Structure 1
Amino acid sequence: MNGFIIAGTASGVGKTVATLAVIRALEAVGQTVQPAKAGPDFIDPSHHAATAGQPSRTLDTWLQGEDGMRRNYYRGTGDVCVVEGVMGLYDGEQSSTARVADVLDLPVVLVVDASAGMESVAATALGFREYALQIGGDIDVAGILAQRAHGGRHERGVREALPDELEYFGRIPPISGLKIPDRHLGLQMGEENSVERDALDKAAEHVRTNRLLDIAREPSRPSLHRPNPARNRRVAVARDKAFRFIYPAVLERLRARSEVVTFAPTAGDELPDCDGVYLPGGYPELHAEQLADAPSLSTLSERASDGLPIFGECGGLMALAESLITTSEQTYSMAGVLPADVRMHERYQALDHVELRGCSTTLGANRGRTIRGHEFHYSSADVASDASFAFDVVRGTGIDGEHDGLTEFETVGTYCHVHAASGAFDAFIDSL
């Protein structure tokens, strides 16, 4: 599958809107688009999925390794893969957009804010192309998408200023309806508040799809990966408005190795009969009252004490705690499995790629084994003085700066989100 990357000069330049417009433009000429996202984000991919009609792949060398990232790319389906970058093209210590482009050998389409410039837009783009040479990289900045560019003289000025080695791939006009509402963890999810379809279609009319298809190319094939065998186990996965941060590859791995049944705690679902439970991240704080009354959380408490394996990530950790205190100082009882009280804050408490080392053999990893993931949360956990942890923090913040993976019975709750390529979910299935 051929592909290309839509990168930005900086965060906030409009990569997501540009990516959605490109997806719509390609669909309008009969192309089936596989969306993807560089970096560990969950929110931008939800907008990709709402527009393209299929899950967005996560591409991150820290989470997956180079071969793992290539394999994840090739698990996608479609005529062309459109990859949205993370932050600015070269930003990111562990897995920048440039790093993803280099490993996959994909061309880069640079989104440049053209709202107040013409020749300077070309100068900016040329600088981004030449910077790769200065740092010894092999990043192919093929051309630009002019964000917030008017037509007529403005568009002609931008196009004429570009040097021959930079292609003009069109523009995203400054029209209403293209803004995505945000909140404390970033943009709202695609299923909550997607970009207006009419506005996207209007913007898509100004994208030069033939030029984009001309530059798209196929990454080299990854090495073969022999999957672990399936087991006769049933895993219950929480999927609702409170638990929505889950990588497609995680569900794929769980389904390949076990029977997966989903349940919605905020909708009053009972906990299904199962051999293990996975609670992904999400927004428990926005639905704390419903969770406090959820019958499945009460059942989780009972089943956990009986030894049912439960793996909770971030939002899952919060739901497994004794209580959740919102920023308005409202306290809600949670499942009470893990000895911690969780409090929400106005500012984020951690944001980083993470590396954890197992300090005991438990769900997710054996003693001494390291796993990689990422953390981004606005809550903190006040844990009991005699609490036990599954992981030492090698990189990142974790729960207390030194440890992550609060554990009780056969339950583990982490602030770290891990990808299927980490091996954590294979270890989880093997423990059931």
Structure 2
Amino acid sequence: MNGLVLGGTSSGVGKTVATLAVSVALEDAGLTVQPAKAGPDFIDPSHHEQLLGRPSRTLDCWLEGEDGIRRNYHRGDGDICLVEGVMGLYDGDASSTAMVAEALGLPVVLVVDASAGMESVAATALGFERYAEAAGREVDVAGVIAQRCHGGRHENGVREALPERLTYLGRIPPSEDLEIPDRHLGLEMGEETGLTAEQLEAASEHIRVEAIRELAEPAADAPSPERRPETGARVAVASDRAFCFAYPATLERLRSRAEVVTFAPTADDELPACDGVYLPGGYPELHGDSLASSDALDELGDRAEEGLPVLGECGGLMALCEKLETTDGESHEMSGVFPAEVRMHDRYQALDHVELAAKRETLTARTGERRRGHEFHYSSLTVGRDARFAFEVVRGDGITDERDGLTEYDTLGTYAHLHPESGAFDSFLEVL
């Protein structure tokens, strides 16, 4: 499967809209697009899936390693893969867009904001292209998409200023309708956005499809995946608007080794019969009333006390605590498994790639093993004196005092989102 990486000059340049517009243009030309996202984000991939109807692949050097990135890329299926970048092309010490492009050996299309420039847009793009060589990086900046660019003289000025080695791949016209609203964890989820098919069709009209198709190249080969046996277990996975941050690769790994059933804690009356529960991250703070009255969440708390293995990540961790307090002072009872209370803040409390070292045997790691993940949350926890932790934080913030992984009974809750390439979910399955 040939592919391209859509990198940006900075955050906020319009990479998501550019990725969606190029996807529409390619699909209209009869090509099947496999979306992907550089970095650990859950929100941009939700926009890809909402538009294209297929899961977006998460590609992150820290979470997966180069071999894991290549395996995850090749699990996709399509005529062409579009990898949306994260932040600016070279930004990020643990995993940048440039690192992902290098790992896959794919060319980069640079998305440049042209709203206030013409020849300067070309100068900016040329600087990004030359920086790779100066920094000793194997990054091929091969083309440019002009974001927020008018037609006529404006477009001609950008295109004619580009050197021959930077292919002009089209423009996206300026439009307030093409701005995706922010929410405290980032952009709104794909199913909530106001972007319409008509707006994206209009944005895609000036994309040079054939030039993009010719620029795409095959990605580096992937090593063979390690075959792991089925467990015969049944895993219940929370899936609703409160718990919507699960990597497609995680669900694929669970389904490859166990039976997976989903449930909606905000709506379902009962917890499905199962051997273990996975509570992904999401927005429990936006659904406090529903979770406080959730029979399924109450039952989960009772079953956890009986020894049912439960794994909660970020939002899942929050739901396993005693109480959740929102920024407007409302308080909601949660399942009460952990002796801790959650408080939401107006500003994020942690944002980083993380590394955790297991102090004791736990659901996702043996004693001494390390797990790499990602944390991004606006909440903090006040923990009881009897709280127990499974991990020391090697990198990142964790829950408190360089510790993460609250543990009680056979339940584990962390602020870290983990990818299956870390080995965490195989460890989880093998204890069920």
TM over 0.5: yes
Superposed displacement of residue 194, structure 1: 4.9
- Equivalent residue letter for 1:4: L
Give 1:366's aligned residue. Answer: 366
Matched residue, 1:133:
133
Following superposition of structure 1 onto structure 2, how do residues 4-403 of structure 1 map, counting pairs within 5 Å?
Answer: 4-403=4-403
More off after superposition, 222-231 vs 387-396: 222-231
Contact 1:175-1:199 at 8 Å conserved across structures: no
Q: Gapped runs of 5+ residues in structure 1?
A: none
Q: CA deviation at 1:195?
A: 1.7
* 1:285 Cα deviation after fit: 0.1
Following TM superposition, by how much is the alpha carbon of 1:269 offset from its aligned partner in structure 2, in angstroms? Answer: 3.5
Counterpart AA for 1:161: A
Q: Please state whether the residue corresponding to 1:77 is helix, strand or coil.
A: coil
- The 3 A distance-change label for structure 1 pair 366 and 194 is farther
Matches of 2:175 and 2:341, distance apart in 1: 45
8 Å CA contact 2:32–2:78 kept in 1: the answer is yes
State the 1:268 CA deviation.
3.0
Note the alpha carbon deviations across 1:208-243, whole angstroms, 9 max, x for none: 010011010111211112221111100000000100
C-alpha deviation, 1:141, in angstroms: 0.3
Q: Is the Cα–Cα contact under 8 Å of residues 59 and 72 in structure 1 kept in the other structure?
A: yes
CA contact (8 A) 2:362 2:390 kept: yes
The residue type equivalent to 2:37 in the other structure is K
Q: Which AA in structure 2 matches 1:316? A: G
Whether the 8 Å contact between 1:356 and 1:391 is mirrored in structure 2 is: yes
SS at match of 1:227: coil
SS of 2:37's equivalent? strand
- In the alignment, the residues of structure 1 paired with residue 173 and residue 142 of structure 2 have an alpha-carbon distance, to the nearest angstrom, of 21
Deviation string, structure 1 residues 232-257 (Cα, Å, up to 9, x no partner)? 10000000010000000000000000
Preserved contact between residue 325 and residue 343 of structure 1 (Cα < 8 Å): yes
Query: Given that residues 304 and 411 in structure 2 are in contact (C-alpha distance below 8 angstroms), is that contact kept between their aligned partners in structure 1?
Result: yes
The one-character-per-residue Cα deviations of 1:15-55 (angstroms, maximum 9, x if unpaired) are 00000000000000000000000000000000010111101
Matched letter for residue 184 of structure 2? H
Separation of aligned partners in 1, 2:400 and 2:68: 30
The aligned amino acid for 1:163 is P
SS at match of 1:404: strand
* Aligned length in residues: 432
Q: Is the 8 A contact 2:4 2:106 kept in 1?
A: yes
What is the CA–CA distance in structure 2 between the aligned matches of 1:69 and 1:232, rounded to whole Å?
A: 28
Question: What whole-Å deviation, never above 9, does each CA across 1:381-430 have from its counterpart, x for those lacking one?
Answer: 10111211111100000000411000000000000000010100000000
Deviations 1:316-370 (A, max 9, x none): 0000000000001111100000110000000000000000011100100000000
Residue identity matched to 1:199: Q
Q: 1:59 and 1:108 mapped to 2: Cα distance? A: 15
C-alpha distance in 1, partners of 2:361/2:2?
Answer: 42
Deviation at 1:180, TM superposition (A): 1.1
* CA offsets 1:68-105 (integer angstroms, 9 cap, x no match): 11000000011100000000000000100000001101
For residue 303 of structure 1, report the CA deviation from its aligned partner. Answer: 0.4
2:266 match: secondary structure = helix
State the alpha-carbon separation in 2 of the partners of residues 424 and 401 from structure 1. Answer: 23
Distance 1:333 1:374 in 2: 27
TM-score (ref. length: structure 1): 0.99
Would you say the 8 A contact 1:172–1:207 is kept in 2?
yes
Partner AA of 1:70 in structure 2: R
| Distance in 2, Cα, partners of 1:104 & 1:401 | 37
Whichever residue aligns with residue 392 of structure 1, its letter is: E
TM-score (norm 2): 0.99
Which AA in structure 1 matches 2:422?
Answer: S
Partner of 1:424: 424
2:273, 2:345 → 1: CA distance?
Answer: 35
Equivalent AA in structure 2 for residue 83 of structure 1: V
* AA aligned opposite 2:271: L
Match of 1:235, as an amino acid? V
Secondary structure of the residue that 2:206 maps to in structure 1? Answer: coil
Percent same amino acid at aligned positions?
65
Structure 2 unaligned spans of 5+: none
- Structure 2: distance between partners of 1:103 and 1:415: 27
Are the counterparts in 1 of residues 103 and 220 from structure 2 also a CA contact under 8 Å?
A: no
- Measure the CA separation in 1 of the matches of 2:171 and 2:132: 24
Distance 1:121 1:422 in 2: 40
In structure 1, the residue corresponding to 2:83 is in which secondary structure? strand
Q: Relative to 1, partners in 2 of residues 1:401 and 1:351: Cα closer, same or farther, differing over 3 Å?
A: farther
SS in 2 for 1:355: strand
For 1:116 and 1:251, locate their aligned partners in 2 and report how far apart those are by CA, in whole Å: 44
The CA deviation string for residues 149-187 of structure 1, in whole angstroms up to 9 with x for no partner, is 000010001011111111100000012421111111111
Q: Which runs of 4+ in 1 moved over 4 A?
A: none
Residue 98 of structure 1 aligns with an amino acid whose one-letter code is: A
Instruction: Tell me how far 1:12 sits from its aligned partner.
Output: 0.3
User: Do the aligned partners of residues 81 and 194 (structure 1) sit closer, same or farther apart at CA in structure 2, a change above 3 Å counting?
Assistant: farther
Q: Return the offset for 1:270.
A: 1.0
What secondary structure is seen at the aligned counterpart in 1 of 2:87? coil
